[in-house]
Structure 1
Amino acid sequence: MSSKLSIVRWLVVVLLLTVGARAGLAASASPPQVLVRIWLLAPDTDAVQLAHAPLTALARESLPQPYILARAAESGLAWLSAHGFATEILDADADTARYMMVDMAGPAAHDDLSAGGRLLYADESRALWRLPTGAEVHASHHAWLLDSPIRLLPRATVPAPITVTPLPLVQEIMDQVNLARLLTYANELSGQTPALINGQPYVITTRYTTSGTPVTQAVNYMIERLQRLGLTVSTHTWNASRPPNVIAEKPGLSPGAGIYIICAHLDDMPSSGLAPGADDNGSGSIAVLQAAEILTPYHFDATLRFILFTGEEQGLYGSAAYAQMVQNEDVRGVLNMDMIAWDNTGGPNMDLHANSGVAGSMALAQVYADVVSAYGINLTPAIYSNGTGASDHASFWNVGIPAFLVIENYWSDGIIAADFNAYYHTANDRTLYYDQTFLTNMTKASLGSFAHMAAVRTDCYWADLNCDSMVTTLDITMIADHWLAGQGQWNYSRVFDGDHDGEITIVDIQRVSAAWGWSGPG
């Protein structure tokens, strides 16, 4: 255990600020609180009961034995005792304390960081630290803050299980993943080639959340490319002095089918100097962009949202605010991609991080594994039921929304060693070190999984572009707009390529026009 603890000390990121920088959270007049660990004998039943207790839950873990971490005053402790819960007080002064959870199953730290704070416990799965008063924290892929309350009650709607049966249309979707386009986007986002933003070339030297103009330009880069696809694009401001999240939406055909999100964080590290962030997380960001390009022309029962989050590296701030905002919407599932381009062993092993404490999370991760198997994609996924909380999917777990993380071989399962990116959070995290085949396969599997999750429609006549069982002037307008938007840029989709010549041209518009007046069954 001592070697594990030494690893933890390299994981916790603590930069002390001036005295009192966070002391504005003055002690309130409310009763003093403690941090308590509450052991769960019947995890789901106990969690529902605890949802009505006078306490604030901060984390739910399943290993080595299920438990919940919570802040509780004397009344909460009395309630726990009266209801027969076994407890352990971890911190007797929790009113204004901040806590950081650290992976013990993850790799050793790759940041040159200082230890700090006080260790409250450590086991084979997690370690918990109390941070020094007045500390500013950078989270990492090994550690995350417990700053927000979590939801213990299950959501009213839990997605029905999804059976993966291979569909030619989904194979068609995955076949459109274009490595050349992925690399173009990656090189532009990581500053290795200039990006065209607002009609002007610009080199994105960093996407660090507080970098000002560079990260703002990265946000603009994504907005422009998503708008060209005809999607409804909006931004979500989580802090007036920070770059916003970017959200693009494609409405579904069935209002009762809910919303599915495919996402990645756009911001990167290190905090100063060049920060290309090609793998972390340029790789996830470009996969979201390609997902939007390829999936937009298709039809789905569910509404699709393509989201780029900011503030992830500082503690999931962008996604936490967004998840809080949409927690009462009918979000059925979230697929989060974070670091999907590194494979130094040729495994090709990868991880799916789910949460057995959130209804539907494990089932969604299983969909991904089933897609890999059903379509013969050269990946070897490992599903973890007590997955890391160190990326944006965890923000959705905290409000009870099913989510899972797609990531390269980040954890060791005791048989296969972790293969973590050696250039993580350095100026050398560049596309030069991509495993291009691995990136392509990870992107294909993600798009195929998302298509199954959101129920891609297979019953639309080829010229019926809005899938309303008629070919009308609306369909002609749709393909004309798509053709015009594609002038001078890559904007190809097989859905619009009626003559299958690899291009969207006036001929395709004429073919749809010739089908005008067709009406489907009924």
Structure 2
Amino acid sequence: MNNQELVRELTYLISQGRMENNLKKFTSFFNRHYKSDSGLEASKWLFNEIETMIKVSNATHISAHKFHHDKWKQFSIIVKFDGVKTDQETVILSAHLDSTAGFFGAYNRAPGADDDGSGSITVLEVLQILVQKKFRPNLPVEIHFYSAEEGGLLGSQDVVSSMKRKNRKIAGTLQIDMDGFNSEDVIALVTDFTNKQLTGFLKDVAETYTSKDVIETQCGYACSDHASFTKAGYPSTFAIEASFKNTSPFIHSDKDVVSRIDFPHVEEFVKMALGFVVEMSLQK
């Protein structure tokens, strides 16, 4: 951990109030299903928020792009921080922006506060802070918000396929999916469908920059977008709110609401994500 002073300076800018307000708006859409009109509107709202913060910063090395998918309405979002070393491997931080509830997910109320509204506002908060400080990494950094994770990792698979076609080099990816339901007061690192070395690095980051105990857990299947990168041969890692068996029982229902989110818990994941991005991207 070579950049502790900078990371701790950035963590002072975290705002639980801002995250709560963002999550209330994000969960106000009827659902964020990747095939629904409200899911499209949710992605539009998120993109407009990101565009506005970049415009206000006047940072010319930061840009936001819509990643459109051929088979459904909702787009993914990619934010790029140009690195000093522009031809080097890219560091990626990500969450999925869609939600679902029940078999007919496109037609059901799905606030998705924890799954994955919590991960989305975590990543959005990291983005807000990095943009505010006009952070300039050595290695290029990308912040991703994926569509259609609930459809079977469809959005991230499209993004990864595009990267493979372009022969993109990836230093490592961190997926945040569900970090708001605090049942164990830990940060859990998923060890299946992830890269062992990168997960070990993330453990060091979490132990340095957060106040939580760090544990290991397994999903038992390709349970989030990190697996799209692993399948393609890219190093990925994944952090979640608790051991997999003790994650929120309310996801994929109309009961996954903001009142069940522990924002101090989310803040610790923001600290970890800031540490991951800074320490990975400022490698010499």
Instruction: Identify the match of residue 215 of structure 2 among 359, 378, 382.
Output: 382
Q: Which residue of 1 aligns with 2:262?
A: 435
User: Is 2:94 the counterpart of 1:257?
Assistant: no
C-alpha root-mean-square deviation of aligned residues, in Å?
A: 1.9
SS, match of residue 257 in structure 1? coil
Amino acid at match of 1:335: L
Using the size of structure 2 for normalisation, the TM-score is 0.88
Identify the range of structure 1 (239-248 vs 423-432) with the bigger mean alpha-carbon deviation.
239-248
Question: Which protein has the larger Cα radius of gyration, Structure 1 or Structure 2?
Answer: 1
1:386 Cα deviation (Å)? 8.2
Q: Which residue of 2 aligns with 1:371?
A: 205
Looking at structure 1, the residues matched to 157 and 2 of structure 2 have their Cα atoms a distance apart, in angstroms, of 34
SS, match of residue 426 in structure 1? coil
Contact 1:299/1:456, CA 8 A, preserved across alignment: no
SS, match of residue 208 in structure 1? coil
User: Is 2:31 the counterpart of 1:206?
Assistant: yes
1:166 Cα deviation (Å)? 5.5
1:387 Cα deviation (Å)? 6.3
Amino acid at match of 1:226: I
SS, match of residue 255 in structure 1? coil
Looking at structure 1, the residues matched to 216 and 163 of structure 2 have their Cα atoms a distance apart, in angstroms, of 26
Instruction: Identify the match of residue 176 of structure 1 among 10, 13, 17.
Output: 13
Structure 2: 5+ residue runs without aligned partners? 55-61
The 1:442/1:319 distance shift into structure 2, 3 A limit, reads: same
Find runs of 4+ consecutive structure 1 residues off by over 3 angstroms.
383-388
Q: Which residue of 1 aligns with 2:58?
A: none
Looking at structure 1, the residues matched to 221 and 269 of structure 2 have their Cα atoms a distance apart, in angstroms, of 19
Instruction: Identify the match of residue 248 of structure 1 among 64, 79, 87.
Output: 79
Q: Which residue of 2 aligns with 1:239?
A: 70
Contact 1:331/1:401, CA 8 A, preserved across alignment: yes
1:257 Cα deviation (Å)? 3.4
1:385 Cα deviation (Å)? 7.8
Instruction: Identify the match of residue 340 of structure 1 among 179, 184, 194.
Output: 179
1:229 Cα deviation (Å)? 2.9
Contact 1:245/1:318, CA 8 A, preserved across alignment: yes
Q: Which residue of 2 aligns with 1:63?
A: none
User: Is 2:65 the counterpart of 1:226?
Assistant: no
Amino acid at match of 2:180: A
The 1:337/1:299 distance shift into structure 2, 3 A limit, reads: same
SS, match of residue 78 in structure 2? strand
Amino acid at match of 1:217: E
Contact 1:246/1:307, CA 8 A, preserved across alignment: yes
More helix by share: 2
Contact 2:94/2:176, CA 8 A, preserved across alignment: yes
**Percent identity of equivalent pairs:** 23
Matches within 5 A, 1:405-420: 405-411=238-244, 418-420=245-247
1:456 Cα deviation (Å)? 7.2
Higher relative contact order (CA 8 A, sep 6+): 2
Give the paired residue count.
269
1:383 Cα deviation (Å)? 3.3
C-alpha distance after superposition, 1:360-416 (max 9, x if no partner) = x222222221122223x22222235886411001000111000111111143xxxxx
Q: Which residue of 2 aligns with 1:66?
A: none
Amino acid at match of 2:49: R
SS, match of residue 200 in structure 2? helix
SS, match of residue 246 in structure 2? coil
Matches within 5 A, 1:106-505: 164-165=1-2, 167-191=4-28, 204-212=29-37, 214-230=38-54, 231-270=62-101, 271=105, 272-296=107-131, 297-327=134-164, 328-344=167-183, 347-355=184-192, 361-375=195-209, 377-384=210-217, 388-411=221-244, 418-455=245-282
1:175 Cα deviation (Å)? 2.1
The 1:432/1:422 distance shift into structure 2, 3 A limit, reads: same
Looking at structure 1, the residues matched to 89 and 142 of structure 2 have their Cα atoms a distance apart, in angstroms, of 11
Using the size of structure 1 for normalisation, the TM-score is 0.49
Amino acid at match of 2:145: L
Looking at structure 2, the residues matched to 190 and 353 of structure 1 have their Cα atoms a distance apart, in angstroms, of 26
